[in-house]
Amino acid sequence: MPAYTLREMMAIAAARQIQDGDIVFCGTGISMLAAMAAKHISAPSSVIFFETGAIDSLLEEVPMAVADPRVMYWTSVNGSLADAFAFMQNRHTGRRVVGIMGAAQIDRFGNLNSTVIGDYRNPRVRFSGSGGACDVASFVGRTIIFMQHEKRKFVKDLDYLTSPGWLQGAKQREKAGLARGGPATVITNMAVMGFDPSTREMVLEAVFPGVSPKKVLEHMQFEVDISQAREFSPPSDEELSILRDKCDPQRLILS
């Protein structure tokens, strides 16, 4: 019995990707926890902001939505949607922004679906839709993606492309007119995935303790390069205590 849960490991894996000085765009749930943890552990000068316009929220309590009044407390500025999305794309701040997001489906180039399963006009399953996800994925310097590692979620073909990843591969973002950015990391309940810098295809970077690369592949519809996979170093006691005691003491997200 490990001394930590998968969700805790996923949050820490994302927190380790955040660099000091990053401007971190957060969604709801585990992405907020990752950003909060990073600020306490390794990136004290990182800035957490939300698409709703809250800039550098203190987050004494974990918000339940990006419009939760908890994001409005002790900010630098409480702005608007127009402000928040402008910071993600203007030439001075845009490339410093890292976006953390999730989705219902992902393909091998890190494109995401959070809109429908089935036909768009007659869907089998309807999800929330883009919200700010498409905007973030279109604009910011890099994105970190949270996914559950399941065959129905790592798909050959998306039912709907809500948020652009590397589109159809190398140089396709530029061709489409998206100047910068693209997915950097995918964090799942089994592994950490990256993207090959030349082909932009997904590769297996690290597996969580007790998970084999083969098992990871069994949970995906497409093959990825597993030759460079190493074992992920588990969360330290310090990382865990910060995550549990400082970020989510009520265990609203972690449970």
Partner 1 sequence: MNTSKDKLMDLAEAIERFVKPGSHLSIGGFTINRNPMAAVYEIIRQKIIGLHLYAHSNGQGVDELVGAGCVDKLEIAYAGSGRFAPTCIRFRKAVENGDIVVEDYSNYQMTLRFLAGAMGVPFLPTRSGLGTSIIDNWGFPSELRQTDPKIPNKKLVVQDNPFLAWGEATRLVLVPAINPDVTILHVQKADRQGTVRIEGLTFADVEQAKAAQHLIITCEELVGSDHLRSAPDQNQIPFFCVDAVVTVSYGAYPTACYRHYDYDPIYLNQYREAAKDDARYQNYLDTFVYGVVNHTMLMERIGRGRCDKITADPRTGYAVDLDRR
127-131: long-range contacts, CB 8 A cutoff, minimum separation 24? 129/162, 130/162, 130/163, 131/27, 131/51
Closest to 29 (Cα-Cα) out of 45, 14, 44: 14
- Lay out the site mask for partner 1 across 234-253 (x = CB under 8 A, - = otherwise): ----------------x-xx
Scanning residues 90 to 119, which ones bind partner 1 (CB under 8 A)? 91, 115
- Lay out the site mask for partner 1 across 178-207 (x = CB under 8 A, - = otherwise): xx----------------------------
Q: 185: left (phi > 0), else alpha (psi -120 to 50), else beta?
A: beta
CB 163 within 8 A of CB 130: yes
Three-class secondary structure of residue 247 per DSSP: helix
Q: How far, in Å, CA of 215 to CA of 98, rounded? A: 30
CB 30 within 8 A of CB 146: yes
Shortest Å, Cβ 253 to partner 1: 8
- Identify the residue among 80, 233, 236, 241 touching partner 1 (CB under 8 A): 80
Question: According to the binding rule CB under 8 A, does residue 169 interact with partner 1?
Answer: no
Active-site residue, selected from the candidate residues 8, 51, 205, 239 = 51
Q: How far, in Å, CA of 65 to CA of 19, rounded? A: 24
Beta-bridge mates of residue 225: 203
Three-class secondary structure of residue 145 per DSSP: strand
Scanning residues 149 to 168, which ones bind partner 1 (CB under 8 A)? 158, 160-164, 167
Question: According to the binding rule CB under 8 A, does residue 66 interact with partner 1?
Answer: yes
- Identify the residue among 61, 150, 196, 225 touching partner 1 (CB under 8 A): 61
- Identify the residue among 78, 148, 189, 199 touching partner 1 (CB under 8 A): 78
- Identify the residue among 10, 134, 240, 242 touching partner 1 (CB under 8 A): 134
Known catalytic membership, residue 51: yes
Q: Please give the positions annotated as active site.
A: 51
Q: Where does this chain bind partner 1 (CB under 8 A)?
A: 28-29, 51-54, 60-61, 63-73, 78-82, 85, 89, 91, 115, 120-135, 138-139, 158, 160-164, 167, 172-173, 176-179, 250, 252-253
